[in-house]
Homo-oligomer: A and B are copies of this chain.
Amino acid sequence: MTLLSLGTQGTQGTLALLCTVSLCGVGACHTFHDTPSFLWRGPCRLGKGGQAGEESRSWVYPSVSSACLWLLTDWPFCHRLQQGAAEAPDNRGGVADTQVVSFHSVSGILVCQAGCILEDLSQYLEDRDFVMPLDLGAKGSCHIGGNVATNAGGLRVLRYGSLHGTVLGLEVVLADGTVLNCLTSLRKDNTGYDLKQLFIGSEGTLGVITAVSILCPTKPKAVNVAFLGCPGFAEVLQAFTSCKKMLGEILSAFEFMDAECMRLVGQHLHLACPVRESPFYVLVETSGSSGEHDGEKLDGFLEHAMGSGMVTDGTVATDQRKMKTLWALRERITEALSRDGYVYKYDISLPVERLYDLVTDLRARLGASAKTVVGYGHLGDGNLHLNVTGEAFSPQLLGALEPYVYEWTAAQRGSVSAEHGLGFRKRDVISYSKPPAAVQLMSGLKALMDPKGILNPYKTLPSQA
């Protein structure tokens, strides 16, 4: 049996959902951990009487927390037999409630149930002249509970910061069934330890998030996008520094991609490069309260950047359609890579000055054994998406990549998982980014909060911890 997922996405399986309930015979229980299968996708309303041996079954409870509570405390195959209670599926869950509980238009604080889909929340807020402080490609399918549980990054971290700063409160069901209600709508609260932080990014291994309170910024009145070509990575960094100084508070994205990325989106998706061919490309987005002011600032930056040689060519968009076309160049790289061959994906944080050295280094190391080696990502956040393709999966190529990529990252005190989390597949590489004392404390927290190991087992913490 498998239940209570705090979802997962992508290669590590991390982004997603909230509270999914599935049931099968006790005998099959353990196999589920290796093959998460999510069965139920529509609304249904069944009683508590699921029988062992059934293949799948779901409940819709009056609230997610009441469902979790029952599952964690009453279900004999789960809690009492101390079997694995949580598993991470790759699609949406069943028990999730999806309602907005409240929104305050003065403070901009939204309280909602954890099963709300990010895009639905974005639309809800847009209608009220606000925006969610996070945005990501998976917004049409991911749930806010999963976003918080995995500390999702995405496209707005540069402007609005991480969820550790914007999430104001959580309701969480603990492993023993206790409902921990820290769902306050306060920007400031220094009464004891900030417990909600424990659940942000812990991938459902310490508790199941059932509701979220989050601070939402006012919707920017004007958005501009510039797409630029840079002659080298040093110039990309210079452009970033200039952007921060000249665009300051209106800078909302600074993304970069290398020439290989552009080649791939051209070859596989037939997207045209909108500027002169360059070794590097940068997408700058501004969001502000005056289109005229923001345009002036952006023009000033472009004049400076082109005059000083850090940018060799550029184009600016203010209308929705063209902005979307420019963003597509950056956002569809993943899709182009998947058409290029088998993809080895790494999501790395590095000191921004060293961000691209790993890509250059790997190209030299791998030579002809790799088909393509590309680097792109959220430069403003020091977050490199390093991807390597080969014609097919090759243990030799994997062996040349790992642990080399991790060792290289560790030598720079980087993170081997910037925004995707560790999940099941990367839990054993945690030591490249965290010292033994940290892993030991994490294990202590897990043992304290989930002594029977029923919450998302085999995830996040290393197998030897």
Contacts and interface: CB of A to CB of B under 8 A. Distances in A.
Interface of A: 14, 104-108, 129, 150-151, 153, 157, 161-162, 164-166, 174, 178-182, 184-195, 197-198, 200-202, 206, 218, 220-221, 237, 240-241, 244-250, 287-290, 293, 296-297, 349-353, 378, 381-383, 413-422, 429-430, 432-435, 437-439, 441-442, 444-445, 448-449, 460-461
A398 to B, nearest CB: 20
Contacts of A382: 107, 186-188
A418 B188 contact: yes
A334 B441 CA distance: 41
Contacts of A434: 182, 191-192
Given A193-B198, A249-B249, A289-B247, A188 B413 contact: no
Contacts of A220: 248-249
Across the A-B interface, give the 4 residue pairs with the lowest CB-CB distance, nearest first. A165-B165, A248-B289, A197-B197, A189-B415
A293 B188 CA distance: 31
B180 A437 contact: yes
B157 A161 contact: no
Contacts of A185: 351, 413
Contact of A248 (B221, B417, B442): B221
26 contacts: A105-B241, A106-B353, A107-B352, A129-B245, A151-B194, A162-B188, A174-B441, A180-B437, A184-B413, A184-B433, A185-B413, A188-B382, A189-B415, A190-B415, A190-B418, A191-B422, A191-B433, A192-B434, A192-B460, A194-B201, A218-B245, A247-B289, A290-B293, A290-B297, A293-B293, A441-B449
A189 B422 CA distance: 10
Given A161-B166, A289-B246, A192 B461 contact: yes
A186 B438 contact: no
A381 to B, nearest CB: 4
A190 B437 contact: no
A351 B104 contact: yes
Given A179-B437, A415-B184, A430 B161 contact: no
A193 B202 contact: yes
Contact of A241 (B106, B187, B191, B413): B106
Given A244-B108, A288-B248, A383 B187 contact: yes
Contacts of A186: 349-351, 382, 413-415, 418
A435 B171 CA distance: 12
A414 B448 CA distance: 29
A288 B289 CA distance: 12
A17 to B, nearest CB: 17
A426 to B, nearest CB: 8
A442 B195 CA distance: 8
Contact of A178 (B352, B378, B437): B437
Contacts of A245: 129, 218, 289
Contacts of A419: 188, 190
A59 B352 CA distance: 38
A190 B414 CA distance: 11
Contacts of A249: 220, 249-250, 287-289
Contact of A296 (B193, B293, B350, B430): B293
